Structure 1
Amino acid sequence: MKKFSFVISLFCSVFLVNGQEILSIDNALQIALENNYDIKVIEKDLEIAENNTSVYNSGYLPTASVTSGAGYNNNSSLLETADGTKIEAHNVVSTNYNASLGVNYVLFDGLNRKYSYKRLKEVYNLTELQARQVIEGTMLSLYLAYFEVARLSENENNQKQTLDISKRRLLRAEYASSYGQNTKLDVLNAEVDVNNDSINYLDSQRQLTNAKRNLNVVLGREADITSFNVDTDVQYAIDLNLQVLLQNALDNNVLLLQVNKGLEISDYDVSISKSGWMPTVSANGSYGWNKNINDEPVGFSFANSQQYGLNAGVSLGWNIFDGGRTKTNVQNAKIAMDAQEIEKEQFTQELTRDVYNAWEFYQNALFKLQVQETNVQTNQRNFERTNEQYKLGQISSIDFRLAQVNLLNAERDLSQSKYDAKNAEYQLLYLAGELLNN
């Protein structure tokens, strides 16, 4: 059986950080391909489609049947000859035995069998494309779920750092207050910020755990496995070209390939419908045996009789007029094929639009990523200077908190832009039909 599979090279083994497994993107992909439920279901559909292409389902093989039977009769009879002689028989028992072997073969059926068998093969090819669609869709879902875990992991880490800074600020404020260097208000403000940061940190942990459960569903494993980390290092493609992506999309997009395959199947549907105008020729042969036993033969009947022999024949059938049913079927098949041609034009146009939109989103995401990287560096320098001034008592706690929040927001925006760009890249590859190659 043809296997719709590809080899995943594992470049990273399992590492442990703080007692937790680091799940690499390649390892996650391998787990998903082995365990994802949608992939398991489509594999069964492939098996069914392959069975349908078997020669046993083609109509090219003859049919053979064996029949046998036995009969029992108990009759009474009265016979009278021409001269008036009467012959009476009561409770005359007779038995009958028969058996036969018959073979039938369709020599010609208007090419219906030929085109139906070719159609089944194309349906199998269509199912292969559907399997590829499921695999690519699973990969895309995996990447989205994986990078969401990565983003929330960075967010949790940033929230923890913010909370640690707020705790150190509260401790400093309490020391300063005990020595009369600031007011109780500074302590209260620091306590409020610690409480808010604690809540935000707990929320970030909850969001991260939920994202890990979502990832586990895609991986096809238990949802409560959350004691793992993911790789937050992201590499971007450097050789993507819009025109190449457009051409690849028109050549390799799995949904467009399914549309084209549907057109091929519809062409066979037209040919199958036309077979109704053609004659059918069948050949048949049988070998039979029949035996009768009469316990008390009456008149000219025999006590025993036995027949056996070979019979063969050829039959021709031609439905000259079927009330216009074949004509209607052919017309409807052609109309359906025309409709699919229109759908193909529409889908091609929509696919081209989607590639352009995805490319523009990708370029904007890369630009935002560069801007956010610069923004984080600026906010980092600003916070470092603000922190030094706050230690020297040159600025208020409000200014310190503002610089702290600005840095947190900048880091959060950078993380979002980082994974938005990578997800946009994968979306482009998906549209171009190149996801399996990357």
Structure 2
Amino acid sequence: MRNKIYIIIALGWMVFPFLKAQEISGELTLEKAIGIAMTNNYDLKIAENQLLQAKNNNSIGNAGLWPSVSINGGLDYSESDIETETESTGVLTYDGVGATVYSGNARVDYALFDGFGNKYNYKKLQQLDEQQQIFFQQQMENTMLDVVDAYYNVCSAQQNLKLAKESMAISKERYQKAVDKRTYGQANKLDVLNAEVDMNSDSTNILNAEQYCVTAIKDLNVVLGVPVNSAYSVDEKIEFTKNFTADEVISATMVRNSMLQSQQKQEEITQMDLKITQSGKYPKLSAYGKYAYSNTDYSDYATVYSQSSGPSAGLSLSFNVFNGNQQRTREKNAKLNILSEQERTQQIKSRLERDASNAYTDYTYKKRIVDLQQRSLVQAELNFEQTKEMFKLGSVTSIEFRTAQQNMLNVANNYNDARFNAKVAEYNLLRITGELVK
């Protein structure tokens, strides 16, 4: 998992300039949209930084397993009155004696034993790194699903606009025929007015469809992380290639779902927290080694200077005999945290089983709706063609013709929306079963 995630990040850095230059050239496919979002999406960039932070923290030095080395130096000046007495000289007094002290040392400290606390700290950092990788995968899944949802909204808007224009072409043809018939006395003014009203209505539908299309593209641009006003067309082809069964969906969810994996990792982290807390019961043994140098220069004093240098080393042992039961309280709370996370894991499993079942049901029914709408579209198109021929022969009224036209347009819109909704439901199934990011 770790190597896969870091490879994705490295590839993103390598191809970033190319994607920025080629991000929306020609027709945009869903695969290309996802590729752009994997590099440009703002939420994914933030998650990437958090992932790299966790990687930086995951080191034995950060866990306290390496010794610490320090170098110190100092310069001090003091002025004081000194009085000394010896048998040979008696009492000697020196006023305003200045002393300049130069000092420096290099010291190494190392915890020989701290109840295995640093060892468990390192394991916790490793688990936090792994958990952040799962968080990053979750953000990738969320980003991909956002792209899919926004992309198919554009597909739907683009298709509805196309259908609105096709309906407008039919209305224009009908209006022109009504004008021509009235010119030759074969139609009355009411037929022309009805055709004109319907044509104006279709013009309004086109404007509304265009507005929705522009808005949908801007929404997609925000998810992709590209300039908001970027304009393009999208590929509307849809294929349903994945076959699901209810048992397979639930089984895969209970094994590969990233939310569940993250929670299980959180359980492991709380167990490691307990071990870190329990390390406080043991004695602490530390060692140090130091080399120090000190030189003191005097002015107006019998002693001109004094100097010392040399190594030193030592051991220190500490043991907490009693601290007001704080250690015991911390251990109790750490155990309660483990129990809470275990309960939360069971809660998430229960919810995921429900969500997986609902996602499968949603996808199944949406696929069935696609099939029904497809059959309805065939019937609506056939009905319109027959009505159109009858209208030419004068067997049906303009109102009946318009009704057949509107019915075909509505069914076509419903069919396209059903297809796009079913495809989004399919991607949601891939996300919940952990198959969206492999």
- After TM superposition, is the score higher than 0.5? yes
CA apart distance, 1:356: 1.1
CA apart distance, 1:367: 1.1
1:30 is aligned with what amino acid?
Answer: G
1:199 aligns with 2:204: yes
Which residue number in structure 1 is paired with residue 405 of structure 2? 404
Which residue number in structure 2 is paired with residue 279 of structure 1? 283
In structure 2, what is the Cα distance between the partners aligned to 1:419 and 1:176? 42
Q: Compared with structure 1, are the counterparts of its residues 389 and 83 closer, same or farther at alpha carbon in structure 2 (3 Å cutoff)?
A: closer
Which residue number in structure 1 is paired with residue 295 of structure 2? 291
In structure 2, what is the Cα distance between the partners aligned to 1:66 and 1:173? 98
Which residue number in structure 2 is paired with residue 269 of structure 1? 273
Deviation per CA, 1:23-79: give whole Å up to 9, x if none.
111111111111111111111111110110123312011112222233334444455
Q: SS in structure 2 opposite 1:22?
A: coil
Q: SS in structure 1 opposite 2:320?
A: coil
Q: Which among 183, 186, 194 is matched to residue 189 of structure 1?
A: 194
1:379 is aligned with what amino acid?
Answer: A
Q: Compared with structure 1, are the counterparts of its residues 288 and 402 closer, same or farther at alpha carbon in structure 2 (3 Å cutoff)?
A: same
Contact 2:83/2:93 (CA < 8 Å) preserved in 1?
yes
CA apart distance, 1:303: 3.7
1:391 is aligned with what amino acid?
Answer: K
Which residue number in structure 1 is paired with residue 328 of structure 2? 327
Q: Compared with structure 1, are the counterparts of its residues 232 and 70 closer, same or farther at alpha carbon in structure 2 (3 Å cutoff)?
A: closer
In structure 2, what is the Cα distance between the partners aligned to 1:316 and 1:353? 55
CA apart distance, 1:316: 0.5
CA apart distance, 1:363: 1.2
1:331 is aligned with what amino acid?
Answer: K
Deviation per CA, 1:290-332: give whole Å up to 9, x if none.
223344544xxx4433222211111110011111111111111
In structure 2, what is the Cα distance between the partners aligned to 1:392 and 1:214? 47
Which residue number in structure 2 is paired with residue 388 of structure 1? 389
Which residue number in structure 2 is paired with residue 174 of structure 1? 179
1:300-339 to structure 2, matched below 5 A, reads 302-339=303-340
1:110-189 to structure 2, matched below 5 A, reads 110-189=115-194
In structure 2, what is the Cα distance between the partners aligned to 1:385 and 1:328? 83
Q: Compared with structure 1, are the counterparts of its residues 183 and 324 closer, same or farther at alpha carbon in structure 2 (3 Å cutoff)?
A: same
1:234 aligns with 2:244: no
Q: Compared with structure 1, are the counterparts of its residues 79 and 238 closer, same or farther at alpha carbon in structure 2 (3 Å cutoff)?
A: closer
1:55-66 to structure 2, matched below 5 A, reads 55-66=60-71
In structure 1, what is the Cα distance between the partners aligned to 2:130 and 2:246? 29
Q: SS in structure 1 opposite 2:61?
A: helix
1:358 aligns with 2:359: yes
Contact 2:71/2:104 (CA < 8 Å) preserved in 1?
yes
TM-score of the aligned structures, taking structure 2 as reference length: 0.92
In structure 2, what is the Cα distance between the partners aligned to 1:80 and 1:428? 94
Contact 2:34/2:144 (CA < 8 Å) preserved in 1?
yes
Aligned residues: 424
Which residue number in structure 1 is paired with residue 254 of structure 2? 250
Which residue number in structure 1 is paired with residue 376 of structure 2? 375
Q: Compared with structure 1, are the counterparts of its residues 378 and 92 closer, same or farther at alpha carbon in structure 2 (3 Å cutoff)?
A: closer
Which residue number in structure 1 is paired with residue 43 of structure 2? 38
Deviation per CA, 1:145-190: give whole Å up to 9, x if none.
1111111111111110111111111111111112221221111111
Q: SS in structure 2 opposite 1:23?
A: coil
Q: SS in structure 2 opposite 1:229?
A: coil
In structure 1, what is the Cα distance between the partners aligned to 2:151 and 2:92? 99
In structure 2, what is the Cα distance between the partners aligned to 1:88 and 1:158? 110
Which residue number in structure 2 is paired with residue 416 of structure 1? 417
In structure 2, what is the Cα distance between the partners aligned to 1:427 and 1:83? 99
Q: Compared with structure 1, are the counterparts of its residues 174 and 60 closer, same or farther at alpha carbon in structure 2 (3 Å cutoff)?
A: same
2:337 is aligned with what amino acid?
Answer: A
The range that moved more, 371-380 or 50-59, is 50-59
In structure 2, what is the Cα distance between the partners aligned to 1:327 and 1:252? 38
1:328 is aligned with what amino acid?
Answer: T
Which residue number in structure 1 is paired with residue 107 of structure 2? 102
In structure 2, what is the Cα distance between the partners aligned to 1:374 and 1:214? 32
In structure 2, what is the Cα distance between the partners aligned to 1:404 and 1:29? 37
Higher helix residue share:
2
Q: Compared with structure 1, are the counterparts of its residues 295 and 370 closer, same or farther at alpha carbon in structure 2 (3 Å cutoff)?
A: closer
The range that moved more, 115-124 or 54-63, is 54-63
Coordinate RMSD, CA, aligned = 2.2
In structure 2, what is the Cα distance between the partners aligned to 1:118 and 1:344? 21
Which residue number in structure 2 is paired with residue 343 of structure 1? 344
2:307 is aligned with what amino acid?
Answer: Q
Q: Compared with structure 1, are the counterparts of its residues 102 and 79 closer, same or farther at alpha carbon in structure 2 (3 Å cutoff)?
A: closer
1:215 is aligned with what amino acid?
Answer: L
Q: Compared with structure 1, are the counterparts of its residues 292 and 363 closer, same or farther at alpha carbon in structure 2 (3 Å cutoff)?
A: closer
CA apart distance, 1:80: 5.9
Which residue number in structure 1 is paired with residue 28 of structure 2? 23
CA apart distance, 1:337: 1.2
- Structure 2: unaligned runs, 5 residues or longer: 13-24
TM-score of the aligned structures, taking structure 1 as reference length: 0.92
CA apart distance, 1:83: 9.1
In structure 2, what is the Cα distance between the partners aligned to 1:295 and 1:273? 55
Percent identity of equivalent pairs: 34
2:137 is aligned with what amino acid?
Answer: R
In structure 2, what is the Cα distance between the partners aligned to 1:113 and 1:382? 78
